[in-house]
Amino acid sequence: MNQKHGYKMLALSLVAGALLAGCGSGGDTIESTSPSTLGGSVIKGPVNDANLTLRDMNGTALVSVLTSNGKFTLPQITLQSPYYILESMGGTYLDEATETNVTIPQNQSLKTLLSKDEIEQMISTDTPAAITPETTIYAGLVEALLTQNPNKSISEAMAEAETIIDKTLIEETSPLSAVPGDKFLKQGDLTSPFPKDQTEAFARNRAISFSYMTRDMGLSPEEVFTLIEKITENLKDGQWDNEDLNNDGVDDNATEAFGLARTKLFQDTTTKLQNGELSEGQREELRLMGFDVDRFNNNMADAQAALQAEVSQYLSSDTLPTLRRLPELTDEDGNLTDAAATYTLTAQKDVNVTIETPEGSWITPMWRYNNQALPVIIRTNRGNAMTLNFQNNLDANSTIHWHGFKIPADMDGGPDTPVEAGNSKSYTFTMDQPAAPLWFHPHPDMQTGKQVYMGLAGVFLLEDAISTQLENSNALPSGDKDVVLLVQDRRFDGNTTDQVRNLKYMDMEMDMDGMLGDTVLVNGSVVPKLAVSNTMYRFRLYNVSNARTYKFALNDGSPFKVIATDGGLLDTPTEVTSITLGAAERVEIVIDFANYAPGDKVMLVSQPFNGDMMSMMGGMNNSGSGMSGGNASGMNNNGSGMNGSSGTSMGNMDGMQANGTGLSIMRFDINSTETETVTLYSSLPSGAAIKNRLSTIDVTNPTERQFVMSMGGMGGMSNGGNMNQGGTMNQMTFVINGKSFAPDRVDEFIQANATEIWSIKNMSPMAHPFHAHAIQYQILSRNGIPASGTDLGWKDTFLVQPGETVKVIGKFEAVNQGDYMYHCHILEHEDAGMMGYFRVGDTGQLGPQ
């Protein structure tokens, strides 16, 4: 070191380039410097040709240089002041979110503030300075705090600014929650393709997130600088106060917007990883941040190939069981044609169910209604007055919740109206909504997941004048060609040769994230076959799994038509080659087997898809190594081979297959020819409610509500992504708007008959199916992109991907007064508290007990 009267000689080599508008994708590593020089990086995408100036706190410029590829080297100077501002003005960079070249407006800068001590320490350790959007906010905050309170020392202001940033822009925005390395960073070469540690990886990732945030707010890339200034100004008082950041007339929450941007970036990056599109440096960055990168060495193509191999085995197999049709209950009121219907549903345990599979069969004791081996169907007409007598013969509280029904709150069967063991309740209401594939299931407090998993769920097919007319005029397949397919994944103990196999529920630590089984049941059978003729069939496809998402498709890629979503028929049948269904979502599809000849076979599969980032975290890895120490019993060998081989490349373990694993669902055997009598409708008759977009019906200033879904307690992400550091998953929390379910708290108050817009945002690392009771929504947009295709149907449950915002509109009908639930329909999340009450109308009496 060159020392002179206590002042250190300094050569700053700053790397400018990646921190100004997004994240530093490209960029070179810092050139080797002599031990007496300081290196640095400017990240907004490595910034080129910026004017980099070192000045003291009086604003006196000491030296200026140009940046190149995000880097710069300052000539040696003598440090005479205790604090310095390092500021990068102008220049160009490649914006990460939009992949456009951006010229930084001349009056805009990125900067940082360093003490002489810090500079000396950086020189002695040969550490470069980092200039990022965050350090820019930091330097601006320090200046603002000093202006606010001139008595404050600079070092106090620096500590305060750092705390503000750590809290509002880092801790509260982390989709991974509480990772030690995710913290404010002033030093490091953020233009290097290989971050040196977790803190550097996160800092660069956050720098890129500013680019995403800018894009997602509808701003142009260069407007990031104005955004940075606004955020700085807003945070002066130590907290975020909502403010209109993008001049759209609506106040924004920067913490939330930045959190969503970070989530979206993670999700995009993990998708690229699974597609094999990341550089070694980017993979290392993800690895450092805690993702199990190596598990995804096998890419999507391998997963596809594995599924195809499994499918070809099943296509030629002659041991597939025959699809069972679900039993339909009969109206008990003695009059099948009046506008009233009565049914009894008795819930009971230990109903022995024979599970048929291609490898033989076994018996599993399940919980069922009416002693039936399979879930039952109730079919009724719009306008009917229903009496549904529920008898609870379980030894725990239960309810029947009518999922997707517009009915009064006291008949809704939520956790606030439990029916105790041995007791009964009569649910009475009138069906007044369009024909739809509805369903029902227990909804007791904290036991919903278990009771549904054990086998309690039923199908409720509502018909109306329109659906009946379409069937009668041969515009819809009906009768034998109208088939309910109830899809559920389960986990069994023992192995395929055992006579009795019990269901296993929540026996692995990761089941808290959502119960996934390794065996898919379709109407109670494993990979069943259905004989069909070469005509059109209507399948009512129900995802009644606790947590799994399916991407249904035909194995040969043939298109099919989606004709209905959760709440009713689509105005226009929509042709697709696959349809993704989250837990509790339903569609009706029409498959036309006309292009097949007798003897042909085609399979319904769930295609492999990019799992969410959750499935890539250390603790979720399926090799078993990431599980908390020694807890391997739950995943010990229990009969693999059952429709499981396709899982190998996307991650499977005995007893469980990750979300996104390719799966064989069932087979269609084309065994006869028949003259087609059906011409599928192309547009619903006038009068169908779905023809009206609620947003175009005169609604003046609908109330808008925000729901942010997030997860916490994943502290195990430290240590480079390995969760086996002692059960951190146990503290996992699932919240909406920061709140966990409380039986005595109502979160939202809604006027009767109101039409409202709800924005559901997912700031967590996994996809969540959002559901609200008593309403059918129309989706307006996803991440600002207007709804189209199957999103144009009525929805009571819809998947929200990490980083996604889904905007929906819905009308709370007059009949819907009282307290209802909104929640994630991953039942383990719901049971863990990812749920809340909303109250419709000013009823006073109804509500949480």
- Partner from Cu ion, ligand C2O, none binding residue 826, C-beta < 5-8 Å depending on class: Cu ion
Rounded Cα distance between 586 and 574, Å, is: 15
**Least distance from ligand C2O to the Cβ atom of residue 548, Å:** 15
Q: Find all residues with CB under 8 Å of 489, minimum gap 6, and list them.
A: 516, 517, 518, 519, 520, 521, 545, 546, 548, 657
> Of these, 71, 773, 807, 839, which contacts Cu ion (CB under 5 A)?
773
Q: What is the DSSP string of 313-326?
A: HHHH-S-PPBPPPP
Distance of alpha carbon 80 from alpha carbon 77, whole angstroms: 9
Name the 3-class secondary structure at 512: helix
Q: Is 812:775 a contact under the CB 8 Å cutoff?
A: yes
> What Cα–Cα distance (Å) separates residue 316 from each residue in 313, 593, 599?
6, 19, 11
Cα separations in angstroms, 626 against 266, 616, 813: 20, 11, 48
Cα separation, 93 vs 23, in Å, equals 10
Phi, psi of 732 (to 5 degrees): -55, 130
Give CA–CA dist 632/644, Å, rounded: 19
If contact means CB under 5 to 8 A according to the sort of partner, which of ligand C2O, Cu ion, none does residue 617 touch? none
Task: Examine residue 824 and tell whether it contacts Cu ion (CB under 5 A).
Answer: yes
Question: Between residues 295 and 771, which has the closer beta carbon with respect to ligand C2O?
Answer: 771
Contacted by 481, from ligand C2O, Cu ion, none: CB < 5 to 8 Å by type: none
Instruction: State in angstroms the smallest separation of the CB of 403 from Cu ion.
Output: 4
Which residue is closest to ligand C2O by CB? 403
CA separation for the pair 832, 737 (Å, rounded): 15
401 counts as binding ligand C2O under rule CB under 6 A: yes
Which entry of ligand C2O, Cu ion, none binds 11, CB below 5 to 8 A by partner kind? none
The answer to the question of residue 771 lying near ligand C2O (CB under 6 A) is: yes
- 749: which 2 tokens? 């108050």
Rounded least distance, CB 830 to Cu ion, Å:
7
Compute how many residues bind ligand C2O; rule: CB under 6 A. 10
Q: Which stretch binds Cu ion (CB under 5 A): 121-129, 475-483, 629-637, 820-828?
A: 820-828
User: Judged by CB under 6 A, does residue 529 bind ligand C2O?
Assistant: no
Window of 69-77, 297-305, 556-564, 819-827 that interacts with ligand C2O by CB under 6 A: 819-827
Cβ at position 323, least distance to ligand C2O in Å = 25
Q: How far is the CB of 546 from Cu ion (least distance, A)?
A: 11
Reduced to 3 DSSP states, what percent helix, strand and coil does the chain have, rounded to the nearest 5?
Answer: 25, 35, 45
Residue nearest to Cu ion (CB): 824
Number of residues interacting with Cu ion: please give it, by CB under 5 A.
6
Amino acid at residue number 550: Y
Instruction: Figure out which of the listed residues 231, 347, 723, 826 binds Cu ion, where binding follows CB under 5 A.
Output: 826
799 binds ligand C2O (CB under 6 A): no
Find which of Cu ion, ligand C2O, none residue 142 binds, CB within 5 to 8 Å per kind. none
3-class secondary structure, 215: helix
CB 739 within 8 A of CB 834: no
Map 160-199 to HEC letters: HHHHHHHHHHHHHHCCCCCCCCCCCCCECCCCCCCCCCHH
**Nearer of residues 414 and 660 to ligand C2O, judged by Cβ:** 414
Q: What is the distance between the alpha carbons of residues 131 and 24, in angstroms, rounded to a whole number?
A: 11
| Closest C-alpha among 29, 55, 42, 150 to residue 93 | 42
406 touches ligand C2O (CB under 6 A): no
262 binds, among ligand C2O, Cu ion, none (CB under 5 to 8 A by kind): none
Applying the rule CB under 6 A, the residues between 532 and 591 that interact with ligand C2O are 584
Q: Does 761 bind Cu ion (CB under 5 A)?
A: no
> Which segment (294-302, 349-357, 498-506, 820-828) binds ligand C2O by CB under 6 A?
820-828
Residue 393 beta carbon to ligand C2O: minimum distance, rounded to whole angstroms: 22
Smallest distance from Cu ion to CB 406, Å: 11
Q: Please report how close the Cβ of residue 643 comes to Cu ion at its closest, in angstroms.
A: 25
768 binds, among ligand C2O, Cu ion, none (CB under 5 to 8 A by kind): Cu ion
What secondary structure letter does DSSP report for 509?
Answer: G
CB atoms within 10 A of CB 224: 28
Q: Shortest gap between Cβ of 821 and ligand C2O (angstroms)?
A: 5
Contact 678, 477 (CB under 8 A): yes
Q: Which does 601 bind (CB under 5 to 8 A by kind): Cu ion, ligand C2O, none?
A: none
Q: How many CB atoms lie within 10 A of CB 53?
A: 18
Chosen from Cu ion, ligand C2O, none, partner binding at 823 (C-beta under 5 to 8 Å by type): ligand C2O
110-138 residues labelled b (16+ CB within 10 A) or e (exposed): bbbbbbbebbbebbeeebbbbbbbbbbbb
Backbone angles phi, psi at 23, to 5 degrees: -130, 165
Of 155-163, 185-193, 598-606, 821-829, the window that binds ligand C2O (rule: CB under 6 A) is 821-829
Q: Which of 715, 747, 751 is nearest to 834 (CA)?
A: 747
Beta bridge partners of 541: 485, 587
Please state, in angstroms and rounded to a whole number, the distance separating the CA atoms of residues 252 and 41. Answer: 30
Q: What is the closest distance, in whole angstroms, from the C-beta atom of residue 773 to ligand C2O in the complex? A: 6
* Cross-strand bridge partners of residue 672: 533
Site for ligand C2O in 270-329 (CB under 6 A): none
Q: Measured from the CB of residue 10, what is the shortest distance to Cu ion in angstroms?
A: 52
Q: What is the largest CA-CA distance in the chain?
A: 105
Compute the distance between CA of residue 409 and CA of residue 583 in angstroms, rounded to an integer: 23
Among 111, 287, 823, 829, binds ligand C2O (CB under 6 A): 823
Per partner kind, with CB cut-offs from 5 to 8 A, the member of Cu ion, ligand C2O, none near residue 113 is none
Residue 441 contact among Cu ion, ligand C2O, none, beta carbon within 5 to 8 Å by kind: ligand C2O
Give the binding range for Cu ion (CB under 5 A) out of 154-162, 259-267, 631-639, 768-776. 768-776
CA nearest 606: which of 652, 564, 549? 549
Figure out which of the listed residues 829, 835, 837, 846 binds Cu ion, where binding follows CB under 5 A: 829
Stretch that binds ligand C2O, among 115-123, 185-193, 817-825, 838-846 (CB under 6 A): 817-825
String marking each residue 433-462 x if it binds ligand C2O according to CB under 6 A: --------x-x-------------------
- Whose CA is closest to 294, among 308, 271, 274? 274
CA distance 530 to 633: 37
501 part of the interface to ligand C2O, by CB under 6 A: no
In the complex, least distance from residue 582 CB atom to Cu ion, rounded to whole angstroms? 9
Q: Provide, rounded to whole angstroms, the least separation between the CB of residue 452 and ligand C2O.
A: 8
Query: From the CB of 375, what's the least distance to ligand C2O, in Å?
Result: 14
Binding mask 580-599 for ligand C2O (x = CB under 6 A): ----x---------------
Of 193, 219, 233, 310, the C-alpha closest to 607 is: 310
State the residues that interact with Cu ion by CB under 5 A.
403, 768, 773, 824, 826, 829
State the residues that interact with ligand C2O by CB under 6 A.
401, 403, 441, 443, 584, 771, 773, 821, 823, 825
